[in-house]
Amino acid sequence: MAPETHALLSASSAHRWLNCTPSALLEAGKPDRDSTASLEGTAAHALAEWKLAEMLGRGPGARPQSTYDTVEMDEHTSAYVTHVNQLLDDHEGPSRVFIEQRLDYSKYAPDGYGTGDCVIISDGLLDIVDFKYGQGVLVEAEQNPQLKLYALGALEAFQDIYRVDQVRATIFQPRRDNTVRVEYSRSELVEWGEQTVKPAAALAAKGKGEFKAGPWCQFCKLAPTCRARAEENLKLARLEFKPGPELSDEEVAQVLRQLPDLTKWAAEVEKYATQAAVSQGKQWEGMKLVAGRSVRKYADENQVIQAARDAGYKDTDIFEQKLITLTRMEKLVGKKQFTQIFDGLVVKPEGKPTLVPMSDRRKALDLAAPEQEFENLDK
């Protein structure tokens, strides 16, 4: 969805303020970070919006252009429009499609509103579609509060025109091959709005309630310096291990389960502190800024080429021709063409075994224990 810069209790940050109510007010005082990914996302949304308006025959004007335009973006935005069209087919009778629609859910959260990428409504059925162009984090539709708040806003806005019983909320995240949908009844959503959103939003609007660290901290502007998050992460250091020279299997497993959060948090703190030291001259007690490791490089490539030729080396000695990477090739020709042109020419070797939490979506490897392999050979 397009960035929501004005609502304190925005739908896109709802996962945070519903779980950690004081976060919303504290975040409001911090500047936004315009990363390349967010600028690219904004460009993709503008193009998707334009294509959808064109598909609906709304004469959207000139096609938006940006420095982020690629074949890949063109294909993904077209796929989004195709998907919306498929959803539209499920609506019987007169239906309406709203693009980049402001959805007001202030009945549940003070001054709460957001912008839904696409809303389709007809008698009986409401579709909320959120286009995610990012690829870093896989977005789930299941119990996604952003989608649920949009749905509450749409139910509220159109209640006098359409009688809706069924709500479908879709995440369309093409760069992760992730199109997921979840269904709710109207009463289920309203109950969630009344019982979960209202009390949390009342606290969040006043900056009250308990700080609570969890997965929602990921994009919090306070994340590197938040005390609650630091305390949560540092619980690992306070683990009480049993006596004995070695950790038990359960203790190792306990460390493993906490490592991803701990290392991520440590990296964020380090990045924040380094940026402050470099850009604001901040001094951190016991630390100093030094030049990192660096690698040698040619001062001037043209002069190096000339010097090598003068020394009697042929161009075949000093130049090498390399195939561009698979990712660059896919960007160059587009996903659809890539599949056609290189059919059967791309392989995916098995990844290095990695330990991940049970909640990870990937299928567990079925590796036979070495003793078992020997047993099998004996048979």
- The values of phi and psi at residue 368, to 5°, are -75, 140
Long-range CB pairs of 216-220, under 8 A, 24+ apart, other chains included? 216/15, 216/16, 216/19, 216/20, 217/16, 217/20, 218/137, 219/13, 219/16, 220/16, 220/20, 220/23, 220/27
Q: Which residues bind ligand SF4 (CB under 6 A)?
A: 16, 20, 23, 211-213, 216-217, 220, 222-223, 226, 228-229
- Count the alpha carbons within 13 Å of 267 in the hemisphere toward its beta carbon: 7
- CB nearer to ligand SF4: give 80 or 211: 211
- CB nearer to ligand SF4: give 143 or 225: 225
- CB nearer to ligand SF4: give 225 or 283: 225
Measured CA to CA, the distance from residue 220 to residue 328 in angstroms comes to 32
- In sequence order, what DSSP letters do the residues of 232-295 get, joined into one string? HHHGGGG--PPSSSS--HHHHHHHHHHHHHHHHHHHHHHHHHHHHHHHH----TT---------
Q: How far is the CB of 228 from ligand SF4 (least distance, A)?
A: 4
Measured CA to CA, the distance from residue 143 to residue 127 in angstroms comes to 15
- CB nearer to ligand SF4: give 27 or 130: 27
Measured CA to CA, the distance from residue 364 to residue 252 in angstroms comes to 19
Measured CA to CA, the distance from residue 47 to residue 71 in angstroms comes to 12
Sequence letter at residue 135: Q
Helices (H), 70-166: 71-89, 145-158
Q: How many CB atoms lie within 10 A of CB 116?
A: 25
Q: How far is the CB of 236 from ligand SF4 (least distance, A)?
A: 16
Q: How far is the CB of 275 from ligand SF4 (least distance, A)?
A: 17
- CB nearer to ligand SF4: give 16 or 45: 16
Q: How far is the CB of 346 from ligand SF4 (least distance, A)?
A: 40
Nearest to 40 by CA among 135, 116, 115: 135
- CB nearer to ligand SF4: give 150 or 211: 211
Q: How far is the CB of 34 from ligand SF4 (least distance, A)?
A: 20
Q: How far is the CB of 227 from ligand SF4 (least distance, A)?
A: 8
Q: How far is the CB of 233 from ligand SF4 (least distance, A)?
A: 10
- CB nearer to ligand SF4: give 138 or 230: 230
